[in-house]
Protein backbone atom coordinates (compact mmCIF):
# COMPACT_ATOMS: atom_id res chain seq x y z
CA UNK A 1 0.00 0.00 0.00
CA UNK A 2 1.46 3.34 -1.01
CA UNK A 3 1.70 6.34 1.27
CA UNK A 4 -1.14 8.05 -0.58
CA UNK A 5 -3.39 5.01 -0.22
CA UNK A 6 -2.57 4.77 3.49
CA UNK A 7 -3.33 8.45 3.88
CA UNK A 8 -6.70 8.04 2.16
CA UNK A 9 -7.50 4.99 4.31
CA UNK A 10 -6.75 6.99 7.47
CA UNK A 11 -8.98 9.83 6.31
CA UNK A 12 -11.83 7.40 5.71
CA UNK A 13 -11.30 5.78 9.13
CA UNK A 14 -11.48 9.18 10.83
CA UNK A 15 -14.52 10.08 8.75
CA UNK A 16 -16.50 6.93 9.56
CA UNK A 17 -15.13 5.65 12.88
CA UNK A 18 -15.83 8.41 15.38
CA UNK A 19 -18.43 10.15 13.21
CA UNK A 20 -21.37 8.55 14.95
CA UNK A 21 -20.07 9.69 18.33
CA UNK A 22 -19.50 13.20 16.97
CA UNK A 23 -23.09 13.28 15.68
CA UNK A 24 -24.37 12.08 19.07
CA UNK A 25 -22.36 14.79 20.81
CA UNK A 26 -23.70 17.47 18.48
CA UNK A 27 -27.24 16.23 19.03
CA UNK A 28 -26.83 16.25 22.83
CA UNK A 29 -25.31 19.73 22.67
CA UNK A 30 -28.32 20.99 20.70
CA UNK A 31 -30.80 19.37 23.10
CA UNK A 32 -29.10 20.57 26.28
CA UNK A 33 -28.75 24.10 24.96
CA UNK A 34 -32.39 24.13 23.89
CA UNK A 35 -33.55 22.89 27.31
CA UNK A 36 -31.27 25.39 29.04
CA UNK A 37 -32.61 28.31 26.99
CA UNK A 38 -36.20 27.12 27.41
CA UNK A 39 -35.91 26.85 31.18
CA UNK A 40 -34.03 30.14 31.50
CA UNK A 41 -37.07 32.06 30.32
CA UNK A 42 -39.59 29.85 32.11
CA UNK A 43 -42.01 31.47 34.47
CA UNK A 44 -43.38 28.16 35.71
CA UNK A 45 -41.33 24.99 35.47
CA UNK A 46 -44.53 22.95 35.68
CA UNK A 47 -45.62 24.36 32.31
CA UNK A 48 -42.97 22.33 30.52
CA UNK A 49 -44.42 18.89 29.85
CA UNK A 50 -41.08 17.34 28.93
CA UNK A 51 -39.66 17.98 32.42
CA UNK A 52 -41.82 15.25 33.91
CA UNK A 53 -40.53 12.79 31.33
CA UNK A 54 -36.93 13.86 31.96
CA UNK A 55 -37.33 13.45 35.72
CA UNK A 56 -38.93 10.02 35.35
CA UNK A 57 -36.21 8.88 32.93
CA UNK A 58 -33.48 10.17 35.25
CA UNK A 59 -35.12 8.35 38.16
CA UNK A 60 -35.25 5.08 36.26
CA UNK A 61 -31.60 5.44 35.26
CA UNK A 62 -30.59 6.24 38.83
CA UNK A 63 -31.95 2.83 39.86
CA UNK A 64 -29.40 1.07 37.66
CA UNK A 65 -25.91 0.10 38.76
CA UNK A 66 -24.09 1.54 35.74
CA UNK A 67 -25.51 5.06 35.38
CA UNK A 68 -24.09 6.78 38.49
CA UNK A 69 -20.46 5.77 37.71
CA UNK A 70 -20.91 7.12 34.16
CA UNK A 71 -22.19 10.45 35.46
CA UNK A 72 -19.37 10.61 38.02
CA UNK A 73 -16.80 9.94 35.29
CA UNK A 74 -18.42 12.57 33.08
CA UNK A 75 -18.18 15.13 35.90
CA UNK A 76 -14.53 14.27 36.56
CA UNK A 77 -13.31 14.42 32.97
CA UNK A 78 -15.16 17.68 32.34
CA UNK A 79 -13.38 19.36 35.30
CA UNK A 80 -16.66 20.64 36.68
CA UNK A 81 -17.61 22.39 33.44
CA UNK A 82 -19.61 19.81 31.47
CA UNK A 83 -21.32 22.38 29.25
CA UNK A 84 -18.05 24.01 28.21
CA UNK A 85 -16.37 20.63 27.75
CA UNK A 86 -19.16 19.39 25.47
CA UNK A 87 -18.96 22.58 23.43
CA UNK A 88 -15.19 22.11 23.16
CA UNK A 89 -15.47 18.46 22.14
CA UNK A 90 -18.04 19.15 19.44
CA UNK A 91 -16.11 22.15 18.17
CA UNK A 92 -12.87 20.13 18.14
CA UNK A 93 -14.58 17.32 16.22
CA UNK A 94 -15.91 19.72 13.58
CA UNK A 95 -12.58 21.54 13.21
CA UNK A 96 -10.72 18.26 12.74
CA UNK A 97 -13.28 17.17 10.16
CA UNK A 98 -13.03 20.46 8.27
CA UNK A 99 -9.22 20.60 8.30
CA UNK A 100 -8.26 18.49 5.34
CA UNK A 101 -4.55 19.44 5.37
CA UNK A 102 -3.73 19.03 9.06
CA UNK A 103 -1.32 16.45 10.45
CA UNK A 104 -3.12 13.12 10.18
CA UNK A 105 -1.88 11.48 13.36
CA UNK A 106 -2.69 14.50 15.49
CA UNK A 107 -6.10 14.84 13.92
CA UNK A 108 -6.87 11.18 14.49
CA UNK A 109 -6.01 11.53 18.17
CA UNK A 110 -8.14 14.68 18.52
CA UNK A 111 -10.98 13.05 16.63
CA UNK A 112 -11.03 9.95 18.84
CA UNK A 113 -10.69 11.99 22.05
CA UNK A 114 -13.62 14.15 20.99
CA UNK A 115 -15.59 11.04 20.03
CA UNK A 116 -14.94 9.40 23.40
CA UNK A 117 -16.05 12.52 25.26
CA UNK A 118 -19.14 12.94 23.06
CA UNK A 119 -20.13 9.32 23.69
CA UNK A 120 -19.59 9.70 27.44
CA UNK A 121 -21.64 12.92 27.44
CA UNK A 122 -24.43 11.25 25.49
CA UNK A 123 -24.70 8.43 28.00
CA UNK A 124 -24.44 10.75 31.00
CA UNK A 125 -27.07 13.10 29.59
CA UNK A 126 -29.55 10.41 28.55
CA UNK A 127 -32.45 12.00 30.50
CA UNK A 128 -32.30 14.95 28.11
CA UNK A 129 -33.46 12.66 25.31
CA UNK A 130 -36.93 12.81 26.85
CA UNK A 131 -37.17 16.52 26.02
CA UNK A 132 -37.59 16.29 22.24
CA UNK A 133 -39.41 12.94 22.40
CA UNK A 134 -39.57 11.30 18.99
CA UNK A 135 -37.99 14.45 17.55
CA UNK A 136 -34.68 13.01 18.72
CA UNK A 137 -34.62 10.95 15.51
CA UNK A 138 -34.79 14.11 13.41
CA UNK A 139 -32.11 15.78 15.55
CA UNK A 140 -29.83 12.78 15.17
CA UNK A 141 -30.34 12.78 11.40
CA UNK A 142 -29.59 16.51 11.21
CA UNK A 143 -26.51 16.12 13.42
CA UNK A 144 -25.27 13.19 11.38
CA UNK A 145 -25.81 15.16 8.20
CA UNK A 146 -23.88 18.13 9.53
CA UNK A 147 -21.00 15.93 10.65
CA UNK A 148 -21.02 14.24 7.25
CA UNK A 149 -20.97 17.58 5.41
CA UNK A 150 -18.10 18.78 7.61
CA UNK A 151 -16.07 15.67 6.86
CA UNK A 152 -13.30 16.43 4.50
Tell me the pLDDT tens digit for each residue of 87-133.
999 999 998 888 878 888 888 899 999 999 999 999 999 999 988 88
In whole angstroms, give the CA distance from residue 24 to residue 36: 18
Query: CB count, 10 Å around CB of 140?
Result: 19
Residue 5: the pLDDT is 57
For 125, list phi and psi in degrees, rounded to 5: -100, 20
The closest alpha carbon to 31, from 117, 111, 133, belongs to 133
For 31-83, the pLDDT digits (tens) are: 999 888 888 876 655 557 788 889 899 999 988 999 999 999 999 999 889 99
Amino acid sequence: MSTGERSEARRKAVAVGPGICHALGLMMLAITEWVRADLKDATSLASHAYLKNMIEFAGSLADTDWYKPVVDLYDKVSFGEPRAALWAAVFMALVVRLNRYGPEEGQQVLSWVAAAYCLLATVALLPYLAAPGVGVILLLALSGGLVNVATR
